[in-house]
Amino acid sequence: MIIIGKAIKSGIVLNEKLRKPSDVKLSQKNTLLKLLKKAKNTQFGKEYNFSSIISSSDPERYFRENLPIFDYDKLYEEWWRYSLEGKENICWPGKIKYFALSSGTSGSPSKRIPVTSDMIQAIKKAGFNQLSAVKNHPVDKNIYGTQMLLLGGSTKLEKTLKHYSGDLSGILTANLPLWLNFIYKPGIQISKERDWNTKIEKIILEAPNWNIGIISGVPSWVKLLIEKIIDYHHLDNIHDIWPNLSIYSHGGVSLKPYKDGLKKLMGKEIYFLETYLASEGFIAYEKMANEGMSLILGNGIYYEFIPFDNEHFDTEGKLISSEGVVNYDSIQEGVEYALLMSTCSGTWRYLIGDTVKFVNNKIQITGRIKHFLSLCGEHLSVDNMNDAIKMLSKATSSSINEFTVAGSSYQKGFSHKWYISMDSLNQDVISCEKMLDGFLQALNDDYKTERKSVLLKVNVIFVPEHLFYSWMEAESKIGGQAKFPRVLNGKQLNSWENHLRSNGIKSSIN
């Protein structure tokens, strides 16, 4: 392990020397040209005349003018389904061997996102660059001789006659570089376990035998795992068995509701580094704790941004206008955008579903296109929700581990219902409602305006944490990359409220 650690450290030092800063505009233009040139002879490339775009005087403008914007349903129905059938050269050269099942937070069946060999290599490259960021922190020099716990979904892939499908973590694990197998935990066998609870039990039993220095995974599941390890082995904190744990690389959902709770499980300070890794590609990562994520450039992804406002999206998050799309070099700080990506996996002008903004040239995920509340023009984003919950947690001196919000009609207007899990459920609900409402009004002017007119009620319902996870299990969305939806509506809301009623919790508005 020491030899491997030294080799990794040497590779990181060399990698840093070889990487050079690049001009953003030129880097993105070159990335687009590489994508177009490689895919020009595919069916998609011929349909949209990539050769003409490549030879044009302004490829980025011609690309934007000649290609429509695709969401998953449109791209799947018109193109990707043929790749799933095993046909070659549809949106990317050759046959697609892997498809990532994107679990996400939606109530729809899993999406199947193509993952090409080019994309796998791009993610590996970005992952190694992210690993090199560890050296930016004052961690023990021996951290490169420790092991990394990657808490993802099952690495056992479903094989058909045409392709393999499964969690992105499973696809990546199947293609791990040889050296990483020596430091990767929970290891190949445990990672293949498809039953999440069984996998967790095996990890808990093996935990004392590992020397974990870095953890990566969705915050809710990492927190739950560490709590179970501490409880099972009667520990004071996780550093009792993993004294070298120094880095937690997190992603999938905002860390804000979980950070204080995670800190309580530690025996010493660790560094939290945010990662933006989606089934569609490795988008950004944090090089230095509390610095913000840097967009990954020159690595197989071309980015575009659509202002996320009433002119471009309706109240259900559907695109209504593609005017005003900008490239990365033309973004405005603080403006909320919906993210478009064209990648080396054959996604073209693809609306990934996330909303983002840039602050000090660092990218922040603010929510999902369809996961925000705007019943009456309040335009409450997931970012607003996370900030308000963090403020409520501090004001009540309580850890808030999970929450979700639903909107509904109320009298002659509307209401918001907040389902909140606190480590102490004996808080005064009326006080919490008033504080939460006040925080939201301070964070969002539109919300403040609507609270004076048709948004008549803010209701807080306390829910034990375990009911959030038992509902996810009942919905077959437990573990790995699965996240609890921050906004509930339709069938999901009905299912959630039925689940609460069956466990003796009323969700009617007072």
Amino acid at 93: P
- Identify which of 208, 199, 203, 214 has the alpha carbon closest to the alpha carbon of residue 147: 214
List 286's β-bridge partners, or say none.
Answer: 293
- Identify which of 89, 93, 32, 108 has the alpha carbon closest to the alpha carbon of residue 66: 32
492 pLDDT exceeds 70? yes
Query: CB–CB of 292/286 below 8 Å?
Result: yes
Q: What percent of the chain has pLDDT over 90?
A: 54
- Supply the DSSP symbol for 380: B
Q: Which two tokens stand for residue 262?
A: 């995670």
> How far, CA to CA in Å, does 345 sit from each of 29, 34, 69, 113, 128?
18, 13, 16, 9, 20
Q: How far apart are CA 386 and CA 392, in angstroms?
A: 10
> How far, CA to CA in Å, does 313 sit from each of 28, 284, 436?
26, 25, 27
Helix (H), strand (E) at residue 367: strand 362-368
Taking only the tens place, the pLDDT of each residue in 340-360 is 999 999 999 999 999 999 999
- The band of 104, judged by pLDDT with boundaries at 50, 70 and 90, is very low
157-160's contacts with Cβ under 8 Å and 24+ in sequence apart are 157/98
- Identify which of 425, 417, 419 has the alpha carbon closest to the alpha carbon of residue 398: 425
Identify the pLDDT of residue 178.
Answer: 66
Side by side, which strands form the sheet with 184-185? 184-185, 147-151, 212-217, 247-250, 271-278, 281-286, 293-295, 362-368, 350-359, 337-343, 301-307, 326-327
Strand duo 362-368 + 400-410: pairing: unpaired
Q: What are phi and psi of 451, to 5 degrees?
A: -70, -20
Residues 372, 154, 112, 348, Cα dihedral to 10°: 80
415 pLDDT exceeds 60? yes
- The band of 103, judged by pLDDT with boundaries at 50, 70 and 90, is low
Residues 6 or more apart whose CB falls under 8 angstroms from that of 316 comprise 370
Q: How far apart are CA 108 and CA 316, in angstroms?
A: 15
This model's pTM is above 0.85: no
Query: CB–CB of 272/250 below 8 Å?
Result: yes
- For the chain, the structural domain boundaries read 2-16+118-272, 18-113+293-368, 382-502
| 478/20: higher pLDDT | 478
Q: How far apart are CA 79 and CA 375, in angstroms?
A: 34
CB atoms within 10 A of CB 236: 9
109 pLDDT exceeds 60? no
Count of CA atoms in the C-beta half-sphere (13 A) of 95: 9
CATH of 382-502, one of 2.60.40, 3.30.300, 1.10.3470, 1.25.10: 3.30.300
Query: CB–CB of 171/98 below 8 Å?
Result: yes
Give me the chain's average pLDDT, please. Answer: 87
Handedness of CA 140, 146, 151, 152 (dihedral sign): positive
Residues 6 or more apart whose CB falls under 8 angstroms from that of 3 comprise none
Rg (CA), the chain: 23
Taking only the tens place, the pLDDT of each residue in 19-62 is 444 688 899 999 999 999 999 999 999 999 999 999 999 999 99
| Residue that the structure tokens 């939201």 belong to | 440
Taking only the tens place, the pLDDT of each residue in 360-392 is 999 999 888 876 777 777 878 888 898 999 999
Coil/strand/helix, residue 115:
strand
Side by side, which strands form the sheet with 98-102? 111-115, 98-102, 164-166, 158-159
Q: CB burial class (10 A; 0-12, 13-18, 19+) of residue 194? A: middle
When mean pLDDT is compared across 161-170, 194-203, 284-293, the lowest value belongs to 161-170
Amino acid at 487: V
Query: CB–CB of 372/232 below 8 Å?
Result: no
Strands (DSSP E) contained in 98-151 are 98-102, 111-115, 147-151
Amino acid at 506: K
Residues 6 or more apart whose CB falls under 8 angstroms from that of 152 comprise 167, 168, 169, 170, 173, 191, 217, 480, 481
2 pLDDT exceeds 60? no
> What proportions of the chain, in percent to the nearest 5, are helix, strand and coil?
40, 25, 35
300 pLDDT exceeds 80? yes
